[in-house]
Amino acid sequence: MDLIEGCKIAAVFATGYMAGAGIYISLVEVQSRRSLPPKALWMQFTKSFKMAAKSMILSTLVTASAPTYLYFALEGSRSRNLWLVSPATFLVGSIYTFTVIIPEVNVMLDENVVEKKGEKWLEGAVERWNKRNLFRTLINTANFICTIVAAIRS
């Protein structure tokens, strides 16, 4: 296997992981959280968020770098521009995450948030996070589909 084929496999795997994680969170984890009392909700959310943040770092880097390399390496490919979807998704997703999601998450991660902000605020904040995360899930799923098409066609 050469570098180009390795990058294609890595890009498909990483974008699939990002899309799959978002879909799982939206369909399973979000639904199960809704039945938890506030303190358990906080514990589950913070533990899950911190674990996911760590696991997504490498996938995010691969999602951005492998397709960027492929865009430049596959100059004659008829689907060359599809490889730009991934770095564009990385940029949009990163800006969205750091400007819209992270400011409130930082408040939510405080171990005294229930005492400081109240149970209703925490429940509302988790629901807002759930809705905001849907945007990332949608763009990551679209990115995964574009990556599969690009890998097949180039």
pLDDT of 77 = 87
Q: Which ranges of the chain have pLDDT less than 50?
A: none
The boundaries of the domain holding residue 127 are: 3-153
End-to-end Cα spacing for the chain: 15
Looking at the structure of the chain, the number of domains it has is 1
pLDDT of 78 = 86
Task: For the chain, give the secondary structure using H, E and C.
Answer: CCHHHHHHHHHHHHHHHHHHHHHHHHHHHHHHHCCCCHHHHHHHHHHHHHHHHHHHHHHHHHHHHHHHHHHHHCCCCCCHHHHHHHHHHHHHHHHHHHHHHHHHHHHHCCCCHHHHHCHHHHHHHHHHHHHHHHHHHHHHHHHHHHHHHHHHHC
pLDDT of 1 = 75
Give 58-100 pLDDT, tens digit per residue: 899 999 999 999 999 999 888 899 999 999 999 999 999 999 9
pLDDT of 140 = 96
Amino acid present at 53:
A
